[in-house]
Amino acid sequence: MEQMVRDEVWEQLDPRAGALGGKQRKRAAAAVWAAAVLLGAGVAVDYSGVVRAHLARSADVGTGGAALTTSKVIAQEVAVENTGWTTVRVVGVGQDGPGLRLLGSADPDVRTSGVHGAQPPFDLHPGQTKTVAVAYRVTDCEAVPAGAFPVQIRVDRPWGTQTIGISLPQVYDGAGGTAVNPPMTEWQKDMADRACGLGPSPAAPRANQ
């Protein structure tokens, strides 16, 4: 049977028991306000680009690429946008990878490709977009990674250099771009296969995802 609490017991209970006092409420409110200020300041500092540069690929700017079978060189333009609030100094673009050796813009094969972009070092102001280019010589067709291979952008920081990976869209080959659920391929693998003569016919259409 349920035990009932007698009326005299209820009368002795303090309805304010456990409630915060005036000073405690002020302290709690101050702590919440301070936490909100710190959180907002942290978000602002992060997005400012002072500590961590904010760069992203811009889909609003057209880019080009090339795969040269005679020299096994692949080259790709990338439109990079500064989405932060401060100017960043770009000091380098690209890096070697498995089966891929990064080439400089002065390499004759790179010039032949017709792919070009802004040459580091250069400043990228808030909201500004510049096209950069990477070019690789395929040194081992089978070793080129099939997984994601972002274009590495190096920016100058007060304490050193920060590297930011810019991902490029995958590509597929389908008849007129209408294939149903076509297999997707990372950009560098697709281009390396074509440079090595392993990809589809040059006449086959390509589409970006």
Within a domain: residue 92? yes
Pairwise CA distance, residues 121 & 191, whole Å: 27
Within a domain: residue 119? yes
Q: pTM value?
A: 0.70
Domain count, the chain: 2
Give the gyration radius of the chain's Cα atoms: 29
Query: Of 5-9, 11-15, 58-62, 151-155, where does the model show the most confidence?
Result: 151-155
Q: Are residues 176 and 123 in the same domain?
A: yes
Q: Are residues 68 and 33 in the same domain?
A: no
Tokens describing residue 167: 């991902």
* pLDDT exceeds 90 at position 17: no
pLDDT digits (tens, 9 = 90+) for 35-58: 555 554 444 444 444 567 999 999
Within a domain: residue 111? yes
Within a domain: residue 126? yes
The residue-averaged pLDDT of 133-158 equals 96
Q: Are residues 47 and 64 in the same domain?
A: no
Q: Are residues 27 and 87 in the same domain?
A: no
* pLDDT exceeds 60 at position 176: no
Within a domain: residue 153? yes
Q: Are residues 40 and 103 in the same domain?
A: no
pLDDT digits (tens, 9 = 90+) for 109-132: 999 999 999 999 999 999 999 999
User: Nearest to residue 206, comparing CAs of 197, 192, 184, 195?
Assistant: 184
Q: What is the pLDDT of residue 15?
A: 60
Q: Are residues 73 and 139 in the same domain?
A: yes
Q: Are residues 113 and 190 in the same domain?
A: yes
Residues spanned by the domain of 39: 21-51
Residue 13's pLDDT band, with cuts at 50, 70 and 90, is low
Pairwise CA distance, residues 49 & 157, whole Å: 10
Within a domain: residue 8? no
Q: Are residues 26 and 63 in the same domain?
A: no
Pairwise CA distance, residues 113 & 15, whole Å: 82
Q: What is the pLDDT of residue 207?
A: 41
E-state strands within the chain:
55-57, 65-68, 73-82, 88-93, 100-102, 122-124, 129-138, 151-157, 160-166, 171-173, 206-208
pLDDT digits (tens, 9 = 90+) for 132-142: 999 999 999 99
Mean pLDDT in the chain? 81
Task: Please report, for the domain that includes residue 82, its CATH number.
Answer: 2.60.40
Q: Are residues 190 and 171 in the same domain?
A: yes
User: Nearest to residue 80, comparing CAs of 148, 113, 128, 136?
Assistant: 128
Label the pairing between strands 129-138 and 100-102: antiparallel
Within a domain: residue 12? no
pLDDT digits (tens, 9 = 90+) for 58-110: 988 889 999 999 999 999 999 999 999 999 999 999 999 999 999 999 999 99
Q: Are residues 30 and 88 in the same domain?
A: no
Within a domain: residue 94? yes
Q: Are residues 25 and 73 in the same domain?
A: no
Q: Are residues 135 and 163 in the same domain?
A: yes
- For 17-21, 34-38, 183-187, which range has the lowest pLDDT when averaged over its residues? 34-38
- For residue 152, the cross-strand partners are 165
